[in-house]
Amino acid sequence: MSDIVFSSRVFALQKKFSLTISRGVRHISENLIVFLSRGDKTGIGEMVSSSEKGWYTEDAISALNNYFDEHRNISSIQETWQDLFDRNVSPPAMAAVDMALWDLVGQELNLPLYKLWEAPLPCHATSVTVGADTSELVKERIGYILAHHKPYYLKIKLGLPGGVDNDKELFSAAQETIRGQNITLRVDANGGWSLKDAIHMDQWLSQKSCDYIEQPLCEDEIDGLPFLFKRRQLPIFLDESISFSKDIPVYADHVDGVNLKLMKCGGITEAFRIICTAKAHNLKTMIGCMSESQIGISAACHLTGMLDFVDLDSHLNLINNPATGTSFIEGIIRPSPLAGHGAKMILPSAEI
Ligand SMILES: [Mg+2]
């Protein structure tokens, strides 16, 4: 078998709408696109960098250059995942390699990944995220989403620094904007509430036809989760508290579900373990995103037929998407029919 050849490019991806969450505002993301070529096929992967999390582009390029200088003959995706984990390579850099290898193998076998895995096609409509800190901006953002994408679910970012009264105003503005339409609202607090606020907002949102709450408690009060869980009116999902499958048993008795992300867990290989571990604990499963373009979304999309909830929308909010891939049909993110994950590059690299 031919050697693997590694290369990469950095893209600065600009959001159409800034994303405001409990920890700040995001306008742009720096994404590293990874290419793994063998023979005449090239697998593509993506890393989203984050200074907040210590996930740096330069560190990833250096670590992956070293790794592929030493490992030109890759035979096991699982062993590669473990090698990179043991070298403390950042999870999104691992994810980029992992999805590129799965893409490459899918192309070599001439099968889209969901067919390679014998997985069902996606059937659950995606949430589309609304992250804004004033009622006017919430209404403007939803107006744009309704005009362009016709979603069935909107995920409203709450837990903002303005406090629970502001959160209630934002949620009410969203409700008002979608009135009369077949759209369900979900809430992600991104760890922005105290235990007291979370108990209060769970009660309030349960009377407003909210679907579920994601990551309600701030890190300092996460020990209050069992107390909140016993009194909850709405299903509780954890996102930030769970990165890998090993994290699930710690919280399994005190949540309804987990939100996995390829960038947090190091890619598709660990995503399979998360899905199995969550189902073994009788938890609901969700897949989310973290500013990925069509590349990361295309890779994640092939898993969604195995999951209960889908939140793959970051590529919809990009001005300069570097690739083609999934389509958005009747609310569902659907995979490309091409072999592998199906994303193909369309933009040259941008200077950072
Ligand atoms: Mg979340």
Rounded distance from Cα 136 to ligand 1 centre (Å): 23
Rounded distance from Cα 214 to ligand 1 centre (Å): 6
Rounded distance from Cα 187 to ligand 1 centre (Å): 9
Rounded distance from Cα 139 to ligand 1 centre (Å): 21
Q: What is the mean pLDDT of residues 251-275?
A: 98
Rounded distance from Cα 318 to ligand 1 centre (Å): 19
Rounded distance from Cα 255 to ligand 1 centre (Å): 14
Do 220 and 198 contact (CB within 8 A), yes or no? no
Rounded distance from Cα 13 to ligand 1 centre (Å): 20
Q: How confident is the model at residue 323 (pLDDT cuts 50, 70, 90)?
A: very high
Do 205 and 236 contact (CB within 8 A), yes or no? no
Query: What is the predicted pLDDT for the residue at 348?
Result: 67
157: how many CB neighbours lie within 10 A of its CB?
Answer: 23
Rounded distance from Cα 72 to ligand 1 centre (Å): 36
Residue type, 140: E
CATH 3.40.50.11540 assigned to domain 5-110? The reply is no
Give the residues across from 112 on adjacent strands.
340
Residue type, 273: R
Rounded distance from Cα 127 to ligand 1 centre (Å): 11
User: For residue 8, which of 80, 100, 79 has the smallest C-alpha distance?
Assistant: 100
Query: What is the predicted pLDDT for the residue at 72?
Result: 87
Q: How confident is the model at residue 352 (pLDDT cuts 50, 70, 90)?
A: very low
Q: Which two tokens stand for residue 182?
A: 């077949």
Give the residues across from 44 on adjacent strands.
35
Rounded to an integer, what distance in angstroms lies between the CA atom of residue 311 and that of residue 282? 20
Residue type, 22: S
Rounded distance from Cα 188 to ligand 1 centre (Å): 6
Rounded distance from Cα 2 to ligand 1 centre (Å): 40
Rounded distance from Cα 190 to ligand 1 centre (Å): 6
Rounded to an integer, what distance in angstroms lies between the CA atom of residue 65 and that of residue 7? 8
Query: What is the predicted pLDDT for the residue at 349?
Result: 57
Rounded to an integer, what distance in angstroms lies between the CA atom of residue 31 and that of residue 46? 7
Q: Which two tokens stand for residue 18?
A: 């800034």
Rounded to an integer, what distance in angstroms lies between the CA atom of residue 97 and that of residue 102? 9
pLDDT at 350 over 60: no
Sequence spans of domains, the chain? 5-110, 116-345
Global pTM reads: 0.96
Q: Please enumerate in sequence order all residues whose Cβ is within 8 A of that of 279, keeping only pairs 6 or more positions apart, or say none.
A: 285
Q: Which two tokens stand for residue 102?
A: 């799965």
Query: What is the predicted pLDDT for the residue at 237?
Result: 98
- Digit-coded pLDDT (tens) for 40-79: 999 999 999 999 999 999 999 999 999 999 988 888 999 9
Rounded distance from Cα 157 to ligand 1 centre (Å): 8
- Digit-coded pLDDT (tens) for 97-145: 999 999 999 999 999 999 999 999 999 999 999 998 899 999 999 999 9
CATH 3.20.20.120 assigned to domain 116-345? The reply is yes
Looking at the chain, the whole-number percentage of residues with pLDDT higher than 70 is: 98
Rounded distance from Cα 94 to ligand 1 centre (Å): 21
Rounded distance from Cα 215 to ligand 1 centre (Å): 7
Rounded distance from Cα 68 to ligand 1 centre (Å): 33
